[in-house]
Amino acid sequence: MNNAIKATISFIKEQYKTENFIPLHVPHFGGNEKKYLLETIDSTFVSSVGAYVDQFEVMMQNITNTQRAVAVVNGTAAIQVALRLIGVKAGDEVLTQALTFVATANAIAYQNATPVFLDVDLDTMGLSPNSVAVFLEEFGDLREDGCYNKKTGKKISACLPMHTFGFPVHLDELIEVCDKWKIPVLEDAAESLGSEYKGKSTGSFGKLGAFSFNGNKIVTCGGGGAIVTNDLKLGEKGKYLTTTAKIPHPYEYVHDEMGYNFRMPNLNAALACAQLEQLDNFLENKRTLAKQYESFFASNGVKFRTETPNTKANYWLMCVELENKSDRDLFLKVTNDNNVMTRPIWQLMYRLPMYSNCQRDKQLNAEFLEERIVNIPSSVR
Ligand SMILES: *Cc1c(COP(=O)(O)O)cnc(C)c1O
């Protein structure tokens, strides 16, 4: 094991051509970032309206091939508002995975709803259609107005799968199960910009999709998010809710619902547009690195995670699967001690105090992956 780790450290240092600290993921500013930012400052439109916000929304519609994209302040807010748009109300339940970044569960809690944690698939590391089906067979109660949980009596008003590290979940199967039980799907596509399932963009399969442009994501605008949908009415409602629910009027303030100030500032949108112009290059660059990792790890007996059939991963954060927890711990220690940043996958959500009492299934796959998956440096070179 130790030799494989040493070889890994040398290999990663060669890839990034440095002996200095190698982070997990840093932004790459190789395009029009400075130009667009300066233009924005010169125009004085730095805040919540401006040409780049509109341009960003059109670019996201084109990239995801959806009818409407709405720019918002961050990915968490995108999920929160999308949950409201999809019909999640206080006291409802949302089916999701425990193996995710905390924002997925937090967004549900902000809607005063409760997550129900179901297991992931071993191949995708995302919500398993089978665990959803098994759970609903036992607890689902299909009524006129939707699906209820037999155990709690609460309405299950959405299903929120997350495409872990940019590897798409089994979308067709998941949507089939959810349709059968009248549960609308919202994709947490925060990590999967540029990933495809059967040739179509992740985020475009559910009723709504949510993306993040945080500093550590494949494309960043400092901080930002987007909601996408093919339902124009929902899209317009999303724009309206995230811009304080204001009724258009030449000078009066008229608000007829509790909205949010979740706008993306034009400064951030300028950065986002410059970054999105480079998305195809980033995807290609990462794919090349993934191929190099794949053949390196294959010859060292370490399992490097690759995309599943019928999908194209964006390889946002690349990862290896170690044999067991003690191998994982050794790998983490030695790499980090040698200037190569690596990080374990997240702790499962029900280990966190605020989500420890949520209903969940057996989580065999999630717990297996929790002990073995480690992210390795994945930045664009
Ligand atoms: C990054 C991320 C988010 C949240 O995005 P922010 O823009 O940081 O709010 C949500 N879900 C997942 C799975 C993420 O990785």
- With a 6 Å cutoff on the Cβ, whether 203 touches ligand 1 is no
Q: What percent of the chain has pLDDT over 90?
A: 97
Write the DSSP string, 141-162: EEETTEEEETTT--EEEEEE-B
Q: Report d(CA 201, CA 178) in Å as an integer.
A: 19
> How confident is the model over 19-36, as a mean pLDDT?
97
> How confident is the model over 232-254, as a mean pLDDT?
95
User: Closest ligand 1 atom, CA of 78?
Assistant: 9
* pLDDT tens digits along 74-107: 999 999 999 999 999 999 999 999 999 999 999 9
How much is the pLDDT for 49? Answer: 84
Which of 73, 80, 104 to mutate to test ligand 1, by most ligand atoms within 8 A of the CB atom? 104
Instruction: Give the Å distance between the CA of 256 and the centre of ligand 1.
Output: 30
Which of 24, 25, 74, 76 to mutate to test ligand 1, by most ligand atoms within 8 A of the CB atom? 76
Q: How confident is the model at residue 180 (pLDDT cuts 50, 70, 90)?
A: very high
φ, ψ for residue 13 (rounded to 5)?
Answer: -65, -35
Ligand 1 atom 13 nearest Cα = 101
> How confident is the model over 336-357, as a mean pLDDT?
98
- With a 6 Å cutoff on the Cβ, whether 214 touches ligand 1 is yes
Two structure tokens written together for 53: 């916000």
Residue 127 pairs in a beta bridge with 120
Ligand 1 atom 7 nearest Cα = 75
Q: Report d(CA 223, CA 239) in Å as an integer.
A: 18
How much is the pLDDT for 13? Answer: 97
Indicate the pTM of the whole model.
Answer: 0.97
Write the DSSP string, 320-359: EE-SSHHHHHHHHHHHHHTTB--EEPPPPGGGSGGGTTS-
- With a 6 Å cutoff on the Cβ, whether 162 touches ligand 1 is yes
Q: How far is CA 229 from CA 64, 82, 86, 211, 236, in A?
A: 9, 10, 11, 12, 10
| Spatial CA neighbour of 316 closest among 71, 141, 75, 117 | 75
**Residue 181 burial (CB count, 10 A):** 19
- With a 6 Å cutoff on the Cβ, whether 116 touches ligand 1 is no
> How confident is the model over 212-232, as a mean pLDDT?
97
Instruction: Give the chain's domains with CATH numbers.
Output: 2-24+279-348+360-376 (3.90.1150.10), 33-278 (3.40.640.10)
The answer to whether residues 182 and 147 touch, using CB atoms and an 8 Å cutoff, is yes
How much is the pLDDT for 279? Answer: 98
Is 217 catalytic? The answer is yes
User: Closest ligand 1 atom, CA of 191?
Assistant: 15
Ligand 1 atom 14 nearest Cα = 190
Q: Report d(CA 115, CA 97) in Å as an integer.
A: 9
Q: Read off the amino acid at residue 273.
A: C
- With a 6 Å cutoff on the Cβ, whether 131 touches ligand 1 is no
**Strand pairing category for 373-376 and 343-344:** antiparallel
User: Closest ligand 1 atom, CA of 107?
Assistant: 10
Instruction: Give the Å distance between the CA of 3 and the centre of ligand 1.
Output: 35
The pLDDT mean for the chain works out to: 97
Question: DSSP label at 210?
Answer: E
